[in-house]
Structure 1
């Protein structure tokens, strides 16, 4: 069976897209590397905004195909399978951010956050006030991200909040996304991810997370397999392994100390766990990282 690839940014397999919470790039910069074809893929924890300022694109979303003509803007919640075929004259910007930051960015307009749990593709009239508003905020965000001026991430957050509010108004304030089965499933999974991020050190069983979500363990496992391609336990173990890799990369803690920091009672079991997840012992992983960093 074909597997839908899960990326941080398209073509990049990694758990953490960077030290900052938002990334911006032109559509041209990535799409031309792939002959303007972005194959169907998904992002587990990332929310994405694509602003098409010039050119056209075939847009595939969960098997449904549509045509995008500039100017338009697309918003994609995590775990949405999507792809594009752009015309070579494409112009525009892609903004990618951690989904959990939406609540903070829209703290003063929290009631509109649910709007962005569904996919939206909004066409605009060229030269209209709406199109100019969207374009101005996207351009301001891109300029701040490419610079190093004081307070730039605060400025990015302010422009992003205004952009999202503008998009909500374009979609129609009274037309909030319908709570269909797929949206409910993705909402459960995003809440599960957040709980795991908060509590992975406690080594809670799947059943404990499922109860917090109002689900059975088997239901949670089914959702994870269907949308993530792995079990709920794999998600928990993956988060533990990610944190272990961060400790081994960015601190001088020994493998035993990392095991204790992650609440493993037996350092030997931690070593076996880490090797099972990464193919390397903690010592071997650190040596490889040091070799890459200090050739």
Structure 2
């Protein structure tokens, strides 16, 4: 395999401009077609929620394997390489939507969108009442999706907001609301991460990112350290290394080809960069993944 598959929905390569902004299906309907194994892939502009209502699953996220026991919910932002192996008795729902809708859905819920910038794996066994409520919300949402009642998409959006808020509360229980300045800095950091995700191959200087955000490079570095524990340049380097690891794990590209895919003019410099950041050469890292 020479590239990491990037799908609109699993097994589909192109967005359908005439489709709704949301798609809902059972885990069974898709996974049984693939013998309950969904190979590692990623979605370019799609946010996905998987509700595991029964059975078991193993999820692999950027090469890390995690066992899931029902009930459980997984939330995946765009461009995360992920795959599943399900038990044949699996039950549950997969909800997929355009990521750009999250901001409007969560408009009245300050700072919740930031939770879903990263992968969320939320076991629900210790929260039976919440698990029951989430299962009911997912079932109602699926029923709305399958129907054609008036206000259908608005009802789906409302149910989805309830689900996301519940997950945010579970993941961030006990957190206090941020002061205004803290929230503003956090917004800048999240926007910076989005820009890095979009443009890391361009190897832009940090000053250009800072200018795009209306900040100085010094200020951007400070808030990155505060919120992410790393300098702005360190965040860019982490993103490049993550993509390199994805290519080395999920494709058969050579180190030179990975370097070119990541816009390194000098493959030997890429090898030195990767080893400096990870302690391993690209091929040594690949060998450990087998």
- Measured against the shorter chain, the TM-score band is 0.5 to 0.7
- 1:71-99, Cα deviation, whole Å (9 max, x unpaired): 00000011111000000000000000111
Quote the RMSD (CA, aligned, Å): 3.5
* Pair 1:37–1:18, CA change in 2 (3 A): farther
2:70 corresponds to: 70
**Residues 47, 76 of structure 1: 8 Å contact kept:** yes
**Residues 56, 90 of structure 1: 8 Å contact kept:** yes
**Residues 197, 239 of structure 2: 8 Å contact kept:** no
* Pair 1:29–1:134, CA change in 2 (3 A): same
**Matched pairs, number:** 213
2:5 corresponds to: 5
- 1:240-295, Cα deviation, whole Å (9 max, x unpaired): xxxxxxxxxxxxxxxxxxxxxxxxxxxxxxxxxxxxxxxxxxxxxxxxxxxxxxxx
After TM superposition, the structure 1 = structure 2 runs for residues 176-195 of structure 1, keeping only pairs within 5 Å, are: 187-189=194-196
**Residues 40, 60 of structure 1: 8 Å contact kept:** yes
1:19 corresponds to: 19
2:118 corresponds to: 118
Query: Under a length normalisation based on structure 1, what TM-score does the superposition of the two structures give?
Result: 0.63
Query: Under a length normalisation based on structure 2, what TM-score does the superposition of the two structures give?
Result: 0.64
| CA distance in 2: counterparts of 1:119 and 1:17, whole angstroms | 27
Structure 1 residue ranges without an equivalent (≥5): 193-205, 233-295
| CA distance in 1: counterparts of 2:95 and 2:197, whole angstroms | 19
Using the TM superposition, give the Cα deviation of residue 175 of structure 1 relative to its aligned residue in structure 2, in angstroms: 6.4
2:183 corresponds to: none
- 1:32-68, Cα deviation, whole Å (9 max, x unpaired): 0100000011011111000000100011001100100
* Pair 1:81–1:32, CA change in 2 (3 A): same
Q: More relative contact order in 1 or in 2 (CA 8 Å, sep 6+)?
A: 2
**Residues 9, 17 of structure 1: 8 Å contact kept:** no
1:144 corresponds to: 144
Three-state SS of the structure 2 residue aligned to 1:108 is coil
Runs of 4+ displaced beyond 4 Å: 183-186, 189-192, 222-232
Using the TM superposition, give the Cα deviation of residue 127 of structure 1 relative to its aligned residue in structure 2, in angstroms: 8.0
| CA distance in 2: counterparts of 1:134 and 1:83, whole angstroms | 23
